[in-house]
Amino acid sequence: MLKRIHKLNDNLVNRICAGEVVERPSSALKEILENSIDASSDRVDIELLEGGSKLIKVSDNGSGIDKDDLILAIERHATSKLANEDDLYAIRTLGFRGEGLASIASVSWFTLSSKIQESSCGYQIANIFGEQNDIKPVSINNGTIVEVSDLYNNIPARKKFLKSESTEYQHCKSTFERIAISNPQVSFSLTHNHKEIYSLSSGDLLSRISEIFGNDYKNKYFTIAEDVGNELSLSGYVYHPSYLANNKNVQMFFINGRFVRDKVVQNAIKQGFSGVLHHEHSPNYVLFLTINPADIDVNVHPSKNEVRFKDSGSIHSFISRTLKKSLADNLFNNSSSQTYSNANNDTHSYDVPIREFDNNSPSYNSSSIGSNNYSQGTKEHINSYQGTQDRNLIANWFNIPKDASHELFDFNEIGHKTDNASYLPLGSALAQLQGIYILSQTRDGLIVVDMHAAHERIILERLKTQLMSDSIASQQLLMPLLVNVTPLQSEAFTLNKQQLSLLGFEIDMLGENQLAIRSIPLLLDDGKTEKLVIDVLDDFTNFGGSNIIADHQEELLSTMACHCAVRANHQLTIPEMNALLREMEQTNRANYCNHGRPTWFKLTMNDLDKMFMRGQ
């Protein structure tokens, strides 16, 4: 039978749309809190019952809503935040679609009370599962109170999708935390089932971070502050990569104050951290991107937590480069070559204590890395410390093809003679401990080096230099590796073949959807080649831009370095250990391994004297 077309009534439209805007209590909470922020509130109080599905009550002290606008406030497509089409490309508020309250009101027992400063009393409107009541006066302070009860009670099928009270509560709590972090100037309180969860006074971002994530977080972040003008800046904090093992996962990215999850951003952050973070770890950060609203489209999804960039390639590059630079400045600005050639500057130590001795009795914690308080004259010692090295010996224990060792381990005329080496920054080797650490004596104490970590960094830096001067040496495979690709991947391959060959990959197209990998980088042989190639092609497709390959180079080189570095339990002779120490002294960033962990630390004689209570 032919079915005729008819228009849906407003109530039904609202309910259909509510499905997208109000997925669960936390999305209702998000809409309401965003309205409070848009209304310039500086105090917002939130009460939740039963994970928000029984009650969400938000009271703010913002601008309020005029009595005559109360009905419009809960009508669809009614907003005070947009006036004309041009405004759509200049959005500076969190809301703009004019549907948040309408959606919530259609699926809950909803009341909206508000008082503007100019009025002597407030007014309230109720909307019970879509049925509107009359406006009545109410006695409240300036600002707005929104109450949402029994969410989805009128749509049992939908209510069934809600999870347990504790899951819904966790979602609400996370939503609250995001809004609280992005608005540290606002005081907030949150209660759940009458229990106080947060009571946050206004302050700066760092205090807000510590109120929410604990003081631990506050102390271990690096500041990011990069403003390149034209309304493009990145600011906030990233967590020190060395501490990742024992922290919570904090990944918050805001664009123009809006929390977003975005593939371009996530990839840019990952690449920003490449080379200092183990690939299985996720970086932790609270970051704010400010961008000209004309360069971004926030009207992608009704939930408003997705964006589209006008030029995703340059945003990707801006984010990853800013992070890389900042991490380099913070982690490596005391890099060995710099520090050592600055040896005359007497003491040079890091702000962040890297390892503390977990020793209950004589308590001391001064063992920070890089406390290079060796004194004047060291530089001359380095310069006078020349000798020929035995490349074969090095190539042997570095466990890499001898051809490559020439490029990788040219020791810049620093030899590995052991006499007098204790005058050198990393001293002269005494022994190898448990096949893992090198113990080395310096003029004023003992240095402990994690040999695999240090070696990995040395190789990475060498590979990077090699790549900058030429391309990475590659090796031909006996049998080509065949990889199936999608049409998009094959297009990405055709466009970027040249770039791949710079990295040491020789690849041909076999058919429309198959590639043959014929050569791979000399040092890469870990059975993950196909995946690596596919990942790189996907990145070309998703993010475009020639900088992607540059960022991937580091990841690739880092993988290669890890595979080539000397393994634990590999017995080293004293000359080999000294060779490694000398090489570290010549390597940029040698104080941290490729995953951001320290490669060495020093115990001074002072530390030891204190420990043994000598001279007290």
Q: State the residues that interact with ligand ATP by CB under 6 A.
A: 31, 35-36, 39, 60, 62-65, 73, 79-81, 95-102, 144
CB of 82 to Mg ion, least distance (A): 11
Query: How far is 402 from 393, CA to CA, in rounded Å?
Result: 10
Query: How far is 116 from 469, CA to CA, in rounded Å?
Result: 67
CB of 188 to ligand ATP, least distance (A): 14
Residue closest to 371 by CA, chosen among 406, 346, 401: 346
- Of 26 and 63, CB closest to ligand ATP: 63
- Of 100 and 241, CB closest to Mg ion: 100
In the list 14, 26, 27, 35, the residue contacting Mg ion (rule: CB under 5 A) is 35
Residue 10's H or E segment, with its range, is helix 10-21
- Of 97 and 416, CB closest to ligand ATP: 97
- Of 132 and 247, CB closest to ligand ATP: 132
Among Mg ion, ligand ATP, none, partner that 97 touches (CB below 5 to 8 angstroms by kind): ligand ATP
- Separate counts of helices (H) and strands (E) for the chain: 20, 23
- Of 63 and 428, CB closest to ligand ATP: 63
- Of 147 and 211, CB closest to Mg ion: 147
Among ligand ATP, Mg ion, none, partner that 277 touches (CB below 5 to 8 angstroms by kind): none
CB of 24 to ligand ATP, least distance (A): 17
- Of 143 and 598, CB closest to ligand ATP: 143
Note whether 302 binds Mg ion by CB under 5 A: no
Q: Per the structure block, which two tokens stand in for 337?
A: 């070559």
Name residues whose C-beta falls within 8 Å of residue 110's C-beta, 6 or more positions apart in sequence.
74, 101, 104, 126, 127, 128, 146, 147, 148, 149
Among ligand ATP, Mg ion, none, partner that 25 touches (CB below 5 to 8 angstroms by kind): none
CB of 138 to ligand ATP, least distance (A): 15
CA angle centred on 599, ends 443 and 383, rounded to 5°: 45
Ordered strands of the 428-433 beta sheet: 428-433, 437-442, 445-450, 600-604
CB 418 within 8 A of CB 428: yes
CB of 211 to ligand ATP, least distance (A): 23
CB of 297 to Mg ion, least distance (A): 18
Minimal CB distance residue for Mg ion? 95
Among Mg ion, ligand ATP, none, partner that 183 touches (CB below 5 to 8 angstroms by kind): none
Assign residue 230 a region (left: φ > 0; alpha: ψ between -120 and 50; beta: otherwise).
left
Residue appearing with tokens 């580091």: 554
Query: How far is 604 from 616, CA to CA, in rounded Å?
Result: 17
Q: Which stretch binds Mg ion (CB under 5 A): 28-36, 224-232, 234-242, 323-331?
A: 28-36
CA angle centred on 298, ends 289 and 273, rounded to 5°: 35
Count CB-CB contacts under 10 A for residue 249.
9
- Of 22 and 172, CB closest to Mg ion: 22
Beta bridge partners of 57: 47, 147
DSSP 245: G
Considering only residues 75 to 104 of the shown chain, the ones binding Mg ion according to CB under 5 A are 95, 100
CB of 503 to ligand ATP, least distance (A): 45
Question: How far is CA 459 from each of CA 399, 466, 574, rounded to the nearest angstrom?
Answer: 12, 10, 20
CB of 95 to ligand ATP, least distance (A): 2
Residues near Mg ion, by CB under 5 A: 35, 95, 100
